[in-house]
Amino acid sequence: MLVVETADGTRRDSARAVIDASGTWRTPNPLGAGGIAAEGEADFADRIAYGIPDILGRDRALYAGRTTLVAGSGHSAANALLDLARLAEGAPGTAFIWAVRGTDLVRIYGGGDADQLPARGELGADVRDLAESGRVQLVTGFATLAIRAHDGRLIVEGQSEEGLLQLGPVDRIIAATGQRPDLSLTRELRLDLDPWLESVKALGPLIDPNEHSCGDVPPHGHRELSHPEPGFYTVGIKSYGRAPTFLLLTGYEQVRSVAAALAGDVAAADAVQLVLPETGVCTVPAGRASQGCCGGPAPAATDACCVADADAKAAGKMGCGCVGKMEAAE
């Protein structure tokens, strides 16, 4: 049963199947580290933008000549920082601070020319150049705890490796801290989700950003995207839950497979083909450098992981997600 809100009121529709492709864009993660709103985050909501504001367009006046703190280490943060840098060239007094929770920027700086998506490689390289130019104050290992008022401006307080640290004062904050799925839509349904990523369960181990950075995800379709609830599928970026690595290309093949399954063409639904552009950088979680599979070292062009993956793929099963040459990040 679907509850559909329209301009004419609420309607209830019955459906043979439901495909949830509602995305994650409307439910951004909070600024506070650990997924909990920072103290003061609600009080100063009018000075916080989530995601990527239109810095060079309709939001220009909010950022020109002001100081902004950008929190986050993904592509949204990179876009916002580069826009602020462009704005600063024509708007004197524009300044920005970049605060990231981690200490390793390998993933955001990306694989450069080795990235099979040239624009993604360029974005990482540009933000690296910006950070190294000294035009932005980069603070790593910073976990935001609180926002406090200070002479009409804001101080952002967080835990750093050196103890409690205060950044600012700033005028505005951009929380580029990712998105999470809105699961309230489906609370009455029997869903099978990864307990941490909130992705569909089968994908969780394959897309965990702490484990995988290569950009490769094994082909998957209607079987992995279904749930114990009959006729219910999660597709698109919502199928990845909180993982930030989803690409449209994945979604097209997901939807094709689910549509074929619903049309009764099981052969077409099962024939899932997906080759994603690799990022050109494969990071390895700390302490896993000696392990063989998914994040293990790459002493040669292939390793145990790649062989296991190839075998799994040949057998029509999902492998561990890191196919091809891997290099351990220092």
Ligand X SMILES: Cc1cc2nc3c(=O)[nH]c(=O)nc-3n(C[C@H](O)[C@H](O)[C@H](O)COP(=O)(O)OP(=O)(O)OC[C@H]3O[C@@H](n4cnc5c(N)ncnc54)[C@H](O)[C@@H]3O)c2cc1C
Among the listed residues 18, 52, 138, 328, the single contact to ligand X using CB under 6 A = 52
User: Closer CB to ligand X, residue 31 or residue 154?
Assistant: 31
Binding-site string for ligand X from residue 8 to residue 37, where x marks contact by CB under 6 A and - marks none: -------------xxx-xx-----------
Q: How far is the CB of 296 from ligand X (least distance, A)?
A: 28
Q: Does 232 bind ligand X (CB under 6 A)?
A: no
Rounded CA-CA distance 300/175 in Å is: 40
User: Closer CB to ligand X, residue 17 or residue 164?
Assistant: 17
Q: How far is the CB of 65 from ligand X (least distance, A)?
A: 25
Q: How far is the CB of 169 from ligand X (least distance, A)?
A: 28
Burial class (CB in 10 A: 0-12, 13-18, 19+), 124: buried
* E-only strand ranges, the chain: 2-6, 9-13, 18-20, 48-50, 67-71, 95-99, 137-139, 143-150, 153-160, 163-170, 172-175, 232-234
In degrees, to the nearest 5, what angle opens at C-alpha 294 toward C-alphas 290 and 299?
50
Binding-site string for ligand X from residue 138 to residue 177, where x marks contact by CB under 6 A and - marks none: ----------------------------------------
The dihedrals phi and psi of 277, each to the nearest 5 degrees, come to -70, 125
Rounded CA-CA distance 303/305 in Å is: 5
Q: How far is the CB of 278 from ligand X (least distance, A)?
A: 14
Among the listed residues 7, 248, 267, 314, the single contact to ligand X using CB under 6 A = 248
In single-letter form, the type of residue at position 154 comes to L
Taking the mean position of all CA atoms in its chain, how far away is CA 298?
Answer: 26
Q: Does 209 bind ligand X (CB under 6 A)?
A: no
In single-letter form, the type of residue at position 20 comes to D
Query: Greatest CA separation found in the chain?
Result: 66
> Residue with the closest Cβ to ligand X?
236
Q: How many CB atoms lie within 10 A of CB 103?
A: 9
Structure tokens at 160: 């750093």
Rounded CA-CA distance 299/311 in Å is: 19
Binding to ligand X (CB under 6 A) within 176-205 occurs at 185
User: Closer CB to ligand X, residue 220 or residue 305?
Assistant: 220
Q: Does 286 bind ligand X (CB under 6 A)?
A: no
Q: How far is the CB of 287 from ligand X (least distance, A)?
A: 30
User: Closer CB to ligand X, residue 2 or residue 289?
Assistant: 2
Among the listed residues 40, 121, 236, 295, the single contact to ligand X using CB under 6 A = 236
User: Closer CB to ligand X, residue 158 or residue 215?
Assistant: 215
| The one segment of 131-139, 216-224, 232-240, 278-286 that binds ligand X by CB under 6 A | 232-240
Q: Does 267 bind ligand X (CB under 6 A)?
A: no
User: Closer CB to ligand X, residue 6 or residue 103?
Assistant: 6
User: Closer CB to ligand X, residue 52 or residue 106?
Assistant: 52
Size of the residue set binding ligand X (CB under 6 A): 15
Q: How far is the CB of 319 from ligand X (least distance, A)?
A: 22
3-class state of residue 325 by DSSP: coil
3-class state of residue 176 by DSSP: coil
Q: Does 247 bind ligand X (CB under 6 A)?
A: yes
| Sign of the alpha-carbon torsion through 276, 279, 280, 286 | negative
Rounded CA-CA distance 206/309 in Å is: 11
The helix or strand, by DSSP H or E, that contains position 231, with its residue range, turns out to be: none
Rounded CA-CA distance 254/235 in Å is: 6
User: Closer CB to ligand X, residue 30 or residue 40?
Assistant: 30
Binding to ligand X (CB under 6 A) within 64-93 occurs at 76
Rounded CA-CA distance 224/287 in Å is: 30
Task: Provide the binding-site residues for ligand X, judged by CB under 6 A.
Answer: 21-23, 25-26, 52, 76, 185, 236-238, 246-248, 251
